[in-house]
Amino acid sequence: MNVADLITGDSILINIESKSKKNILETISKNLANGDDNQKDTIFDKLYEREKLGSTAFGKGIAIPHARIPDIKSPKILFMKLSEGIDFDALDKKKVDLIFSLIVPDTKEDSHIEILSKVASLADSEALTQKIRGMSDEQEILDLIKNNLKS
């Protein structure tokens, strides 16, 4: 599977304003559900359930909310650049301003781990995340993420 193919122009949201983790999870759910209200609710419930197990913020202002979702056909990635950082219960106490969200079908355990690993290594690159923070064009961010997911 080419993880870079999971992210498209519709998968990049910039200058998102939010005051809370719950609001961000709602925004993620709405965007990944593509207008399906039932799926939106399921995605939110699963992401929220995962956050209750422990924060998906891993430090340096980055979070990777993720979940396995019943009744979806293929994995999806959504990237959000917030206009201001929010509290995401990160271990390092830094506010989160970059969010890579991932949902996968609940039947494909291996793909979940593979995709999460690639997204986490991308998000762990200080040089890449600093470059993204300096960008304001969705297409430039998309190209940068796609190119780095391929490697």
Provide the token pair at 128: 């890449």
| Closest to 101 (Cα-Cα) out of 59, 141, 50 | 50
Which residue in 21, 66, 81, 118 is the catalytic one? 66
Sign of the dihedral through C-alpha 103, 108, 111, 116 = positive
Known catalytic residue: 66?
yes
Question: What is the rounded CA–CA span in Å between residue 103 and residue 23?
Answer: 17
Cα–Cα–Cα angle for 117, 58, 76, nearest 5°? 45
Kindly state the tokens that stand for 134. Answer: 């300096």
Catalytic positions: 66
